[in-house]
C-alpha cells in the first residue's frame, strides 16, 4: 500500500511509525512494515506529477491511499475532528462552471468509459476501508483555489453535492485511474470551508483524529 499526503505537516503520525525515512526526487518518503508513504506537494499539479512519476518508477504499487485534512461544507453536518472517506472526487474547476460534460470533452477516457468531473473511488478498496475503519463514504471536491467565503462554499456544495473540499484529491484520483491502480482517500476535517481565519481552524485535532482513524491500517 502506498499512502500519499500533500504536506509533511499532515504526516507526523506516519513519521512516528516509519522504520525508514528517505527522500525521493525531493519529496519525503517513509517506509513502514507493510506500507510506504510519499509526500506529494500542495495542489493538483504537484500531486499528479509526483504520484505519476512514482507509479511509473514503482509498478509494484497495488493500492494508493490519499490522507490529509480538509474543509467541510456548511451543510455536511461535519465539524473539526470528524474523519471522512471519499466515495468520489469531483474536479470542480475544470471546464465550465458546471463542468466538462456540456463541452463534450472528458478529462480522462479509459476503454469505453469517459470521466468528466466525477472520479469514483475504487469500490472494493473503499468498501474494505469502510468495514475496517467504520467510515461512511461521502463525495469530496477538489479545486486549486479553496473557498474564501461562506457564500462561495455554500454555492459549491449546492452545485456539486460534496461534503468536503481539498486541493489534491481529483489529481490523485485521475492519476491512479490512468495507471490502473485502485485509489481511496481519507481526510479529517480541520475547518469549515470558506473560513480563512486560521484561528478558527483546529488542525491539531484533525491530525489526531486522522491518526486514530488510520491506526488499524498501520
Q: pLDDT per position in the chain (218 positions), as tens?
A: 999 999 999 999 999 999 999 999 999 999 999 999 999 999 999 999 999 999 999 999 999 999 999 999 999 999 999 999 999 999 998 877 888 777 878 888 888 899 888 999 999 999 999 999 999 999 999 999 989 999 999 999 999 999 999 999 999 999 999 999 999 999 999 999 999 888 899 999 999 999 999 999 99
Rg (C-alpha) for the chain, rounded Å, is 16
CATH level 2 (architecture), domain 2-217:
3-Layer(aba) Sandwich (3.40)
Single pTM value for the model: 0.95
CA separation for the pair 152, 60 (Å, rounded): 41
The residues spanned by each domain of the chain are: 2-217
Task: Output the DSSP codes for 11-67.
Answer: -HHHHHH-SEEEEETTEEEEE-SS-EEEE--SHHHHHHHHHHHHHHH-TT---EEEE
Amino acid at each position: 500500500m502506498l499512502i500519499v499526503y500533500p504536506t509533511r505537516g499532515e504526516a507526523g503520525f506516519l513519521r512516528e511509525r516509519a522504520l525508514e525515512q528517505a527522500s525521493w526526487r525531493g519529496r519525503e518518503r517513509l517506509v513502514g512494515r507493510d506500507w510506504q508513504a510519499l509526500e506529494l506537494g500542495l495542489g493538483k499539479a504537484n500531486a499528479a506529477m509526483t504520484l505519476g512519476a512514482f507509479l511509473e518508477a514503482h509498478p509494484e504499487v497495488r493500492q494508493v491511499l490519499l490522507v490529509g485534512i480538509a474543509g467541510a461544507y456548511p451543510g455536511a453536518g461535519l465539524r473539526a475532528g470528524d474523519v471522512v472517506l471519499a466515495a468520489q472526487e469531483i474536479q470542480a474547476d475544470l471546464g465550465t462552471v458546471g463542468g466538462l460534460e456540456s463541452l463534450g470533452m472528458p478529462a480522462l477516457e479509459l476503454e469505453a468509459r469517459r470521466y468528466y468531473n466525477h472520479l469514483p473511488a475504487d469500490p472494493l478498496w473503499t468498501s474494505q476501508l469502510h468495514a475496517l475503519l467504520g467510515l461512511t463514504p461521502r463525495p469530496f471536491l477538489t479545486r486549486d483555489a479553496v473557498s474564501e467565503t461562506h457564500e462561495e462554499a455554500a454555492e459549491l456544495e449546492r452545485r456539486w453535492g460534496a461534503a468536503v473540499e481539498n486541493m489534491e484529491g481529483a489529481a490523485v484520483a485521475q492519476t491512479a485511474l490512468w495507471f490502473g491502480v485502485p485509489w481511496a482517500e481519507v481526510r479529517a476535517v480541520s475547518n469549515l470551508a470558506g473560513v480563512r481565519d486560521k484561528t478558527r481552524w483546529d488542525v491539531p485535532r484533525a491530525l489526531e483524529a486522522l491518526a486514530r482513524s488510520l491506526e488499524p491500517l498501520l
